[in-house]
Structure formats: structure tokens, C-alpha cells
Amino acid sequence: MRPGSVAIVGAGPGDPELITIKAMLRIQEADVILYDRLVNEELLNYAKIEALRIYCGKSPGHHSMPQETIERLMIQYAAEGHKVVRLKGGDPFVFGRGGEEALAVAEAGIPYEVIPGITSAIGAAASAGIPLTHRGLAASFAIVTGSRCHDHASPVRWDILAHSVDTIVVYMGVSQLSHIREQLLLHGKDITTPVALIENGTTSRQRTVTGTLGNIDKLAAAMKIANPALIIVGEVVKVREQLLSLEITTRSQIG
């Protein structure tokens, strides 16, 4: 029996053209693909016709397959001699549980590799015209998951984040937006701090809403912003407005 292996692959933030060449090659070679909810399913069209495709999607409050089952299937198919791809949205090691899966596979003695992908913080921000760092505005950024907002065992340290970095990027935080806003204001963040919400970043369905800590929760409700969406807090949000203004000026001059 030929040796099996596992590739834990980042599919990028949504736009299928943002996947890496190495990741695409692994998809084309795969015998089995276990893919997540936020993976653009266009990428599956590049797999072999006979490749087994297994949906492992997870949405807030609903998991189609327990994490333990996903890891067991990865190991089982690889042990049978198959080339297994674990295809994950964004980057596998950024809020993707890729580290847990790598450990499980390694402990089972299965050969594996990790192929990074463009994470949503970078991809969606760039697609919306927001640099996470910008000379004169931001020299640092942090990413955090909003799903830990009410985790009393390991709470998000908003008191530290509010002042230790210039730009804060929150994954999976739209449902906790009011709480996040309150915490940042409580710990001294100015009410006029710019905020952006990017829904379905890098895709044809992308929507971007900008405001401040003072009004972003009301704007999100009015626009019915829903997951998957990213929250960006910081002065760099202003760069988007500058770029849009320049684009309008250029178009009017050409016209």
C-alpha cells in the first residue's frame, strides 16, 4: 500500500484567485478533501473527479461535524494510503484549529505538511482599502477572536488591547459588537476611533461599513451586517476614505 499523507491547507479569505500555487497543487493531487464552510467551493472544481469531498463546515452555534471526528477521518484516510487535504478558510494556523489537527496527525505518525493561506485580517482589509499598518498612523496590529468575549476561563484582555497596539482586528465578532465596543470605551479608547466592518471580504458579495466606536453598532444593525465579517478598529480605517476620495476625483477628471 502506498504511503498516505495529510496536507493542512489554507484556502485564503474567499476569493478563489487568492489561493497559493502550492495549495492548488495539493488540491489537484488529493484523493480526499475535508473542507470548511468558508472555503470557496469553486476550488473543489480543481480536484480530481474521483476525489472524495467531505464537508466539515462550522457556523456559529452549529457544527456539522465534531472536531474529533474531523481529525479521526484525516488519520483514517491517510492511514489507508490516501493523499488527504484538510482545506480551511484563511490560514490554518489563525483561528483555524490547524495546530490541533497537525498535532493529532503527528501523534498518529502520519506524514503531514502545513500550507499557509492569506488570512482574513490581511485579505479582507486590503480588499477594503485598509492597510493594517501605515506610516504615521499604525506601526502594530493585533488579531483576536470575538468568540471568546464571554469565555470567563480565558477572556479577551480588552484592557491591554485598547492601548498596546495601534490596530485591532476582530474575527467572528459581529454578534458581540456591542460588547466589544463597550469594553474598548470602558478601557479608554476614544469614542471617535474609526471602525470598519467588512462582510464577505474579498468576494463579489463584499460590503464595507465604516463609522466610529460611537456609532458602529447602530450602523451594523441598520445595514444588517452578518457573519462572516471582520471588525477593524483604528486610525488606519481613514485611509480607505482617502483612497475612495482620490478614486472619485480621478474618475471625474477622466470623465
User: What is the longest distance spanned by two Cα atoms in the chain?
Assistant: 67
- The DSSP result for 33-70, as a single string, is EEE-TTS-GGGGGGS-TT-EEEE--EETTEESS-HHHH
- Peptide bond connecting 60 to the previous residue in cis, omega within 30 degrees of 0: no
- CB neighbours of residue 62 within 10 Å: 8
Three-state DSSP class for residue 144? strand
Residues assigned a catalytic role = 36, 58, 172
Q: What share of the chain is helix, strand, coil (3-state, %, to 5)?
A: 40, 25, 40
Q: Which residues pair with 84 in a beta bridge?
A: 6, 32
Whether residue 8 contacts residue 92, with contact meaning beta carbons closer than 8 Å, is answered with: yes
